[in-house]
Structure 1
């Protein structure tokens, strides 16, 4: 998407700017609960009008937040190059235990609450942690959580394990989740 305008739908915004939902909720309390929710087919202008926010201000904030989000991301190819170079990289799987046990990137650790708390207390603040999920859709939230707890070396892998499988290691099986 080349331009973000007040007439852009929320579905287009959240697809193009994955962290926009988090950003809108953090700054304006929009989209985080049933009382402030929006529909995918609503335009940004409609959402802003209902919430008494200037659309231009919301656009500016979404774009600023997107630049911050991009700095938290790392591509599968960059991760592979770091691993190949011998750099110390902690690969941390944020998916469900069932997903991790079914298919995982070699050498990755499964993130439990206990392991997360251990990392917050012992892992070097600037040491590289690469978080990954299934398709990269939720990794930014987890990455922001880690950085907010002082682990500034946390990065989220774009495209998740699915991109890793397509772009780096085709021996890692791809899968899709079936939702009821």
Structure 2
């Protein structure tokens, strides 16, 4: 299946639209410009990319757009489709599957062989893990696991991947016996 066509990115798009099209945009903006990672540098969903760039040292729109797009390509290279993951887990007996969701989500439904990523497990992997082993991280919908993957890659675990679409896509596309769920956030 070919990748979905991404909409062109421009300064008139609201941050909500930018994040819808490029889910890693906030991480990219924070890493490069320190925008959007905390209350003092945050942005509102209705603000345009141009407004955000203007009030953050007047960053050129074209520069921000290029950075978001390049970061998106990097994020895409870290992802593994549910289909490819399913094949990989059948042939790689030493595959490490890490669940970056909450304990409650993990206890409710998890991928076969997955371990909940805790601080203790991170320390165990960092001190005694084989940096050549393949790690596959997943969350609910594939939006948060990229941050955890970047952390592992930054510590030398180059064979780290994220399950594209998370456990929800795996349940939908590969194993419908895994219950799907929605998380409702209170205002």
TM-score range, shorter chain: over 0.9
Which sections of structure 1, spanning at least 5 residues, go unmatched?
none
CA-CA distance at 1:178 after TM superposition: 2.8
- What's 2:62 paired with? 56
Equivalent residue for 1:72?
78
The TM-score with structure 1 as length reference comes to: 0.95
Question: 2:179 matched to 1:173?
Answer: yes
Separation (CA, whole Å) in 2 of partners of 1:126 and 1:8: 41
**Structure 2 portions without partners, runs of 5+:** 1-5
Aligned to 2:155: 149
The number of equivalent residue pairs is 180
- What's the counterpart of residue 31 of structure 1? 36
User: What is the CA–CA distance in structure 1 between the aligned matches of 2:92 and 2:161, rounded to whole Å?
Assistant: 18
1:16-165 alignment, distance < 5 Å: 16-51=21-56, 52-165=58-171
| Native 8 Å contact 2:137 2:145 kept in 1 | yes
TM-score by length of 2: 0.92
Deviation at 1:87, TM superposition (A): 4.8
For the aligned residue pairs, the C-alpha RMSD in angstroms reads: 1.2
Cα contact 1:19–1:141 (8 A) shared by 2: no
| Alignment partner of 1:8 out of 9, 13, 29 | 13
